[in-house]
Structure 1
């Protein structure tokens, strides 16, 4: 379409698909760990403590890199940044199969975490810049939850059910095959994406006006805000606590679910794939529902309660559903129960995005990265707790002369439920209308 036409161009639709695909690949590659973990345990005899230490290694660089990434994105935009990190993490994925040495595996996990750390701060900036505020949270729900959690769900089906199950590939070859589309997509993202509608020659003024509406979005500012100044905001500090508990609980789905279902007696890879995936499908659907609920409630209750009530109700329902799920008598019914747990808890994923962009304003990538860092800290610390806890509740018995380990995962899930309740209480205290975007609190990037 002619960019000078009076009708709005539709470049934002292409940006939506690029952002969604980025989120999809992020989670498809990250959640491959659910099947890498039991393979490493079987092949090298690694303990739960050692395996969760490797999980922590990912979150170490994922945590430390988040705020610096947000500052870089606010200064220079997400275009080149996202291209580089998509390429690096896609190339790193197959390296998980190169060695069984803990030092080597730890190095791979550190690099993988560093490559993925800035993705969602960057996509938060993309959704703020490219989509109208009135429907932005729904867009964020689709990008972060449906395609992100959808990628997570597809990961186990692709790697376990299809590549390792039906096709018979080794887990190492499966990782190689999973990495290739990510490398190709990085090139497509570099070619098609631009930082803002103003930078894109295929976007006309009508589309820019449609995106902006009455909202004033600075596209040329190179100001930054320090984390110290941003954290003077009380609601942001509460969001930090909320996100620590939210992401700390979520590591169960990222790192441990494959081993959990194996402990329930699931041995066939074709079955393990869909059971690990089903809760993540619930998260994908729940995230979209959460985005719709946000955008439906905000015009009726205002931003303050439109967001906070979604967060509180979501975590409360997730906690109740969790205790029902883990009490089910068969692995299949447990998987269905965890579908509903993730459906409810992931209502808050687009709510977090929307709250971060509301509080952050021009500095949304930096604010999002602060919130993300808190979540990453939860992801860093909780595996160090869950790993030894699982070893404490593990017993070994001899079956036909072979030592078989049985692990009780219930104490771990009790902690997850408590975290859901705590996160829900935090949401009642968050006021997203109090923004950090105050001119005298920014400093020039050159300073």
Structure 2
């Protein structure tokens, strides 16, 4: 029996099940990067590279476009019901993808997946703000994002393995969809939108978390006021631009790197899937290290610089790694450079997420959606940009691609510098009652 003065640990379980949500989110998202280069897919649909680029980019476009509405819905109606709905919907649309017979059907299915997945991470940011004390938010953010990276890391190998084993790309999507529906049921069972609503949280944990019980939800009228605050915030614009540029650089890894390894480096499908798995695995380490790095920097240098240092330092290293890619002959050396990009991108992510909780208040999910929206516009643009750069660059197309990706990271590292996490977007946000660490 738990002693009355010992805090329960329900907050850790909330983070754990949210990690599970992020796992299936990324598994369903990244699987298409492998599917579009499989023999069975190309035999069935026979799409051009430009059409594939539109399919990959369309997901990120709709995912970006619906970030703010989906985030506001969670601020308004609660994280538990809304995120459960989101998981169910994107699982059903993933299953639908397995039934398409042409470009138009595939495009529509991926557009719908993007809409349904849009609320996942903004809602997660709101959950972290409500369940985790201030100085533990970067680590919690890193752990949730780690769940996504685990899904993304396993997605290339698992997807190719299912396609090769079962002889068809469609079955892999139906299996992913079934797993998603199971996770939706687990999430509904275990999560509550607020700590005060959870029957297993004791008073000591509530005091540790330090969130006020009577915090009201964000109404539709208040959303308009919040959006006006977003448009006036220099910090939020800088964060949004950095996410956009960062995703142009990172998006290459999950959209075009598998195809690049097969077509330009002569790697087999299964071997290419393993290589991408290794690249994304370093991102898992980055999420963990980034959470500790950001929380340490925040304690050491204060809230503003504690959020900035992990972002800017990580992005400059990403740029340097991409600059090396055109000059390496060994495929494994190229993979190592991409692994550095993966690690350092994810080293910065906990700080980017924690910033949204710092400034967003009751509109944290909407603010997170705002930043994530611009970030995924970058990913969408990047998916379309790569084949265009290859085409106009001719024989030097690969060099042009990697230099462009490096330039995006340099700009991202510079543009975050004016950000200030101490300036709130919502003036009436209740103060954190207890900034103690988890």
CA RMSD of aligned residues (A): 2.1
Question: Which residue number in structure 1 is paired with residue 197 of structure 2?
Answer: 199
Question: Which residue number in structure 1 is paired with residue 6 of structure 2?
Answer: 7
Once the two structures are overlaid, the 10-residue window that deviates more, 146-155 or 322-331, is 322-331
Q: CA deviation at 1:124?
A: 0.4
Question: For residues 218 and 289 of structure 1, do their structure 2 counterparts lie closer, same or farther at Cα, with a shift above 3 Å needed?
Answer: farther
Q: CA deviation at 1:408?
A: 4.4
Q: CA deviation at 1:100?
A: 4.1
Question: Which residue number in structure 1 is paired with residue 320 of structure 2?
Answer: 320
Q: After superposition, give the CA deviation of every residue in 1:359-378 in whole Å (9 maximum; x if it has no partner).
A: 21222111111101111221
Partners in 1 of 2:19 and 2:266 — Cα distance? 32
Question: Which residue number in structure 2 is paired with residue 46 of structure 1?
Answer: 47
The answer to whether 1:219 aligns with 2:215 is yes
User: Given that residues 41 and 47 in structure 1 are in contact (C-alpha distance below 8 angstroms), is that contact kept between their aligned partners in structure 2?
Assistant: no
Question: Which residue number in structure 1 is paired with residue 170 of structure 2?
Answer: 172
Q: CA deviation at 1:59?
A: 2.0
Q: Which runs of 5+ in 2 are unaligned?
A: 430-438
How many matched pairs? 423
The answer to whether 1:422 aligns with 2:411 is yes
Partners in 1 of 2:253 and 2:400 — Cα distance? 15
Q: CA deviation at 1:216?
A: 5.2
Question: For residues 431 and 296 of structure 1, do their structure 2 counterparts lie closer, same or farther at Cα, with a shift above 3 Å needed?
Answer: same
Q: After superposition, give the CA deviation of every residue in 1:321-375 in whole Å (9 maximum; x if it has no partner).
A: 1222443222222112211111112211111101111121222111111101111
After superposition, residues 24-35 of structure 1 pair within 5 angstroms as 24-35=23-34
Partners in 2 of 1:248 and 1:340 — Cα distance? 16
Partners in 2 of 1:217 and 1:382 — Cα distance? 43
Question: For residues 216 and 232 of structure 1, do their structure 2 counterparts lie closer, same or farther at Cα, with a shift above 3 Å needed?
Answer: farther
Once the two structures are overlaid, the 10-residue window that deviates more, 117-126 or 242-251, is 242-251
After superposition, residues 100-249 of structure 1 pair within 5 angstroms as 100-144=101-145, 146-160=146-160, 162-165=161-164, 167-212=165-210, 219-223=215-219, 224-226=222-224, 227-249=227-249
Question: For residues 63 and 218 of structure 1, do their structure 2 counterparts lie closer, same or farther at Cα, with a shift above 3 Å needed?
Answer: farther
Q: After superposition, give the CA deviation of every residue in 1:160-212 in whole Å (9 maximum; x if it has no partner).
A: 2x3234x3542222222222211111111112211111011111111111111
Q: CA deviation at 1:94?
A: 3.4
Partners in 1 of 2:169 and 2:391 — Cα distance? 25
User: Given that residues 150 and 284 in structure 2 are in contact (C-alpha distance below 8 angstroms), is that contact kept between their aligned partners in structure 1?
Assistant: yes
User: Given that residues 62 and 117 in structure 1 are in contact (C-alpha distance below 8 angstroms), is that contact kept between their aligned partners in structure 2?
Assistant: yes
Question: Which residue number in structure 2 is paired with residue 17 of structure 1?
Answer: 16
Q: Which runs of 5+ in 1 are unaligned?
A: 396-406, 441-447
Q: After superposition, give the CA deviation of every residue in 1:209-239 in whole Å (9 maximum; x if it has no partner).
A: 1111xx6576334453431222211111111
User: Given that residues 28 and 155 in structure 1 are in contact (C-alpha distance below 8 angstroms), is that contact kept between their aligned partners in structure 2?
Assistant: yes
